[in-house]
Chain A
């Protein structure tokens, strides 16, 4: 390769100067010895049009020099970008009205890989499914929700308080202590007493970290991971405690089939007729597979502005698995399980 360069005679005069610039004082001696090799590398590393196409900064073996080259490269790129920006701005000014429309920046939501199971609002099949699934009874206003909240064994204070606050948020909710009872035995008892939902808050290291939401007669069981729990007294600028009024429910961004079923699960937690007098709203907002729960009290200042005060606990959920039928971890049929290696590989792919 060294020979080829000499033959082609492409060495411009300036490379020698660049060589001198590049030399670091302590490496001068070494440089003289390896001058030939260095010359080759120096010519390669000139910023300009005469790079061989296969060159990359990572081929330089010397770390300091490689780093310096990399920084140079970055500087150049930055400059180019700035120039481009300036040019565009000028063009835009000159053209005025006729300028091309501003480009929309790429966001993860823009770049999201299209999911085939995204629900089309007019889809008949989906409508039919939703008319006949386990929640149809609720959505046809036949049943009223009644929720049982419990924890894993021996809950610590934080979990207990969280359960209590949840019980104030969800109407018709009862908190029961789990005294080492097996869920499989609890479930038939709940059904016989007319509960429609079973919520089990799992605790780890004195902090709630999991939620099992089981729709009772024979409904699906969803297992979530809870993170960022904030109890009421940790909220800044919060309002007074929530009243007994039935809150409204907002479900945002549940777009796929799976998201739809989860959204319906959440909707069925709350009774049908929200009492608007109470002005309370519970929000389940899905963003990039994280479901954020918030509980607010709102007030309309005028028809364009609404003020909100956050009451109530806040937490985020991430779906781990959805199982058909009531809780049965061994023999249950899983509709969806989060498989880390398959599903977390792409940053633009979301499932809810």
Chain B
């Protein structure tokens, strides 16, 4: 026997029903055959022996009906009627099937059919529009790629590569006449000239030698010309020896001075010609004169 009231007492208002979901303000029913989704006396499929729902499966709507006569046969309890795709026709079908049923159930079934039809239309529209494809990222792969990118960046040496490329382009002349770097051309011209001078005349090289003689003439004015000649012949060690010969007391300081100056000379650039050197030596001697007038009477 079906005692709907008893069933409702047991599961209904404040009792337990496994399909019931309670929120602060409302009770919902999770039963899949429920017509409205709420937990009410009139919409509970367990507590109503005559009940109907509309459900949708793969885009087609079906009308499910349950009557008291089949309450003892759970396997055959729900009668499934396929509804027409056409919305209007489906409504008529519902009316026809639920002809003498309570108004509540008929109304709710039609409402549910409407809702279902609407969302099916939306699905069909959306599939025509752009669909966003979600591509999952693998964390391991992302990390690996990041690391490889860092290493590739280091290996690339971008600044150098770009600079090299730009300089190559400059050399090839893709920039035309925009950039004038006379140094380059000037150096080339200088090199050419040097080659010419070396190959053409060896006589020209005697001129600096003669200049040296002239310088010697100047130096001969002083009495130290002999010593200076010795300086010219030999290296800095001679200067030191001269210093020792001249004044032994001031050897250290003099030597230091001379050494420093010779070092400076050696550090200096190549084209130090003879007279310059001698002049410097001359200057040193004068210096000595200043510091020790007594011993440098020779210089004068």
Q: What's the minimum C-beta distance from B175 to chain A, rounded to whole angstroms?
A: 5
Q: Mark contacts of A258-290 with chain B using CB atoms, 8 A cut-off: 1 yes-contact digit, 0 otherwise.
A: 000000000000000000110001010101111
- Segment with Cβ contacts to B, from A98-106, A165-173, A191-199, A293-301: A293-301
Total cross-chain contacts (CB, 8 A):
82
Say if the beta carbon of A15 comes within 8 Å of chain B. no
The yes or no answer to B292 lying at the interface (CB within 8 A) is no
With A182-B129, A302-B183 known as contacts, the answer to whether A250 contacts B165 (CB < 8 A) is yes
Residue from the list A109, A276, A281 in contact with B162, Cβ < 8 A: A281
Q: Which of A305-328 contact B (CB under 8 A)?
A: 306, 308, 316, 318
Residues of A in contact with B, size category:
35 or more
Chain B: interface residue count, which band?
20 to 34
Spot the interface stretch: B151-159, B227-235, B281-289: B151-159
Given A252-B161, A288-B152: A281 and B166 within 8 A (CB)? yes
Tell me, yes or no, whether A31 is within 8 Å of chain B by CB: no
Q: Which of B142-150, B203-211, B236-244, B257-265 contacts A (4 or more CB under 8 A)?
A: B142-150
Given contacts A276-B178, A300-B181, A303-B181, contact A308 B146 (CB under 8 A): no
Residues A303 and B178 in contact, CB atoms below 8 Å apart: no
- A340 in the interface, Cβ–Cβ < 8 Å? yes
Q: Is the interface of B mostly helix, strand, loop or mixed?
A: helix
Counting chain A CB atoms within 10 Å of each CB, the highest count among B152, B175, B176 belongs to B152
The answer to whether A337 has its CB under 8 Å from any CB of chain B is: no
Chain B residues positioned under 8 Å from A248 (CB to CB)? 169
B167 touches A227 (CB 8 A): no
- Say yes or no: is A107 at the interface (Cβ < 8 Å to chain B): yes
CB contact under 8 A between A302 and B181, given known A108-B155, A182-B130, A227-B149: yes
A binding-site residues for B, Cβ under 8 Å: 107-109, 180, 182-183, 227-228, 248, 250, 252, 276-277, 281, 283, 285, 287-290, 292, 294, 296, 298, 300, 302-304, 306, 308, 316, 318, 329, 340, 344
Q: Which 10 A-B pairs have the closest CB atoms?
A: A287-B156, A288-B152, A303-B181, A287-B152, A290-B152, A182-B130, A303-B184, A306-B166, A250-B165, A306-B163
| 21 CB-based A-B contacts, threshold 8 Å | A107-B155, A250-B166, A252-B165, A276-B178, A281-B166, A283-B161, A283-B162, A285-B156, A288-B148, A288-B155, A290-B152, A290-B153, A298-B162, A300-B179, A302-B181, A303-B167, A303-B179, A303-B183, A306-B167, A308-B159, A308-B163
